Structure 1
Amino acid sequence: MKYYIVDDSLSVVKILNRIVEEQGLGEVTGISTDPEKALKEIILEEPDIVLIDYLMPQMDGISLVRQIREVKPKVNFIMISQVSDKEMVAEAYQVGVHFFINKPINLIEVISVLQHINEKVNLENALGGIREIIQVKNVSEKKRSADTNKKGSGSRVKEIKYLLGILGMLGESGTADILAICEERLQSHTTNVKEGIALYCGKKAEDPKMVKQRIRRAVKRGLTNIAAMGVEDYYNEIFQNYHYVVFDFESIRAEMDYIRGKRKDGGKTNIDKFIEGLLVFSEVK
């Protein structure tokens, strides 16, 4: 994992640098106390994760994040701040900050936050890899089995049920459909979600539109529940650990804005990506 650290305090930069490398959390590929210099270097180097100070004299952290995301939207950000104001947190989240570290720097907190964001990046990379595999033709069943059957299907279904429970979806009728599709995909050692939904609907002799409608309602419930946790308390442990697993940033942000009354519609749901996310989570968990 490649890190870049920008803070107007050199001592803070050195502390964070040492924690990242001594704890084996990644490689620090760049540091800076100058946000304008950092902007150029981050765009050029494109690190996986940027630790960025909120209050800096030349440019505040939110402005810097906004400029970087315009050019490099895949970079992940951790905001370093002494400020815990909810409006600041909301603004930071709006521009793309997912995690926060409080000043003064606490070793345990930093390690915990960095481990969480490393898991997020690894999960996103794994999802990307699976999507590439799905698009590639003539992949042998033997290779796909080796890639997807590292854990028994029963154990992986338990992991999926656990996550669905965390999202408050177990009471939804569409959740049973989701579990059945996931279980079938795990047993057949394939992650082709579209094919899985079609086969499932065929076996049940149900209209695919009706099945997808049930699933979409269940997924929407999960999105609403996790977004509500973030609105109530951005530092909520469940929200911090799981909001990025099966929902994309834009959907979570839109749903949070809808709950706050800032927009007329909420986040969009994507059934295929949601189920893909569950399958990857069950493997890497």
Structure 2
Amino acid sequence: MVDDDQAILFVLQNIIEQNFNDEVVGMSTNPQQAQADIQFQDVDIVLADLLMPELSGIELINAIKAIKPNIHFIMISKVQDDELRTKAYQAGIEFFINKPINLIEVKSVIAKVEKSIQMSRQLLSISAMAKQFNEEDKPNKQISISEHANVILKSLGMAAELGSTDILKVIKIMNHTGEHYRNIDLTAQIGIDKHDKKIMVQRMRRAIRVGLINLTNQLIDNPDDEQAKHFANVLFGYENIHRQILYQQHNRSTGGRVIMQNFMDGLLDESQS
């Protein structure tokens, strides 16, 4: 934690260590010293004051990100200037904690960042498993379209969603008929009426929305992940992902759109490759 007011640091330390299973590994009133120390410490989250003498919080974050891009940042500030706050989000912070310090706000913000870290680690683990799955002896192991598609859904953190079962069912039909998603008559192929079709499509959309959010978080945390960038383009489109990134960084009022045809056609292409 970095703040030129030592009293603030002690307040935050007490809140964190009394309410979370976390350890405050360092506190400093000197941002330049903090920058040097963080290079040699195992740190998940950095809390930094926005306005500090000699080195601002934004400058500190930019310097740290150049060395350790996966660290998560929370900004502490009493400043309400929209332009400064926008610059902070652009630098890579996830949330603001306002001064004077409020116990409920601090607990809420840190809990959200911890959840984001946990999700990112799960996605990276699943992504590594998917890569290993794809790199196994392909000539000796035949993988069905549904199995391949399911691996991709798992890598996007979607497999537990109710709509993922529907997505796999439709992918199987698309593969069997050789048709694009827009040409599939779900009522005839699955034997459901229009009402049930509407509910099914809603489930699929909700699952794809979860995938969009998870993939965006993965790219925010690890922008050099080649597989994530590939799925971003093939399944959602870079423009949609870019909008979602801005939205999740609080720099845009609306996020990316779920385009069913793009996702389903892209998923089938990836599953067949």
The TM-score normalised by the length of structure 1 is 0.56
Q: Does 1:180 align with 2:166?
A: yes
Change (3 A) 1:209 1:18: same
Contact kept in structure 2, 1:243 and 1:252, CA below 8 Å: no
Q: Give the drift of 1:222.
A: 6.5
Measured in 1, the distance between the counterparts of 2:16 and 2:43 equals 14
Q: Give the drift of 1:271.
A: 5.8
Contact kept in structure 2, 1:46 and 1:72, CA below 8 Å: no
Q: Unpaired segments of 5 or more residues in structure 2?
A: 137-149, 185-204, 224-241, 268-273
Q: Give the drift of 1:17.
A: 1.0
Q: State which drifts further: 71-80 or 37-46.
A: 37-46
SS at match of 2:48: strand
Q: Which residue of 2 aligns with 1:65?
A: 61
Q: Which residue of 2 aligns with 1:104?
A: 100
Q: Which residue of 2 aligns with 1:37?
A: 33
Q: Does 1:47 align with 2:33?
A: no
Measured in 1, the distance between the counterparts of 2:174 and 2:212 equals 29
Measured in 1, the distance between the counterparts of 2:60 and 2:103 equals 25
Q: Percent identity?
A: 32
State how many pairs are aligned. 196
Once the two structures are superposed, residues 211-247 of structure 1 have per-residue CA deviations (whole angstroms, 9 ceiling, x without a partner) of 9xxxxxx89x979xxxxxxxxxxxxxxxxxx996441
Q: Which residue of 1 aligns with 2:11?
A: 15
Counterpart AA for 2:166: A
Change (3 A) 1:101 1:63: same
Measured in 2, the distance between the counterparts of 1:204 and 1:117 equals 44
Measured in 2, the distance between the counterparts of 1:11 and 1:58 equals 20
Q: Give the drift of 1:43.
A: 2.1
Change (3 A) 1:74 1:244: farther
Moved over 6 A (4+): 208-211
Change (3 A) 1:79 1:243: farther
Contact kept in structure 1, 2:74 and 2:94, CA below 8 Å: yes
Counterpart AA for 2:113: I
**RMSD of aligned Cα (Å):** 4.2
Q: Give the drift of 1:255.
A: 4.9
Measured in 2, the distance between the counterparts of 1:40 and 1:200 equals 57
Contact kept in structure 2, 1:120 and 1:244, CA below 8 Å: no
Measured in 1, the distance between the counterparts of 2:28 and 2:79 equals 21
Change (3 A) 1:115 1:36: same
Q: Give the drift of 1:204.
A: 5.0
Contact kept in structure 1, 2:213 and 2:244, CA below 8 Å: no
The TM-score normalised by the length of structure 2 is 0.59
Q: Does 1:86 align with 2:82?
A: yes
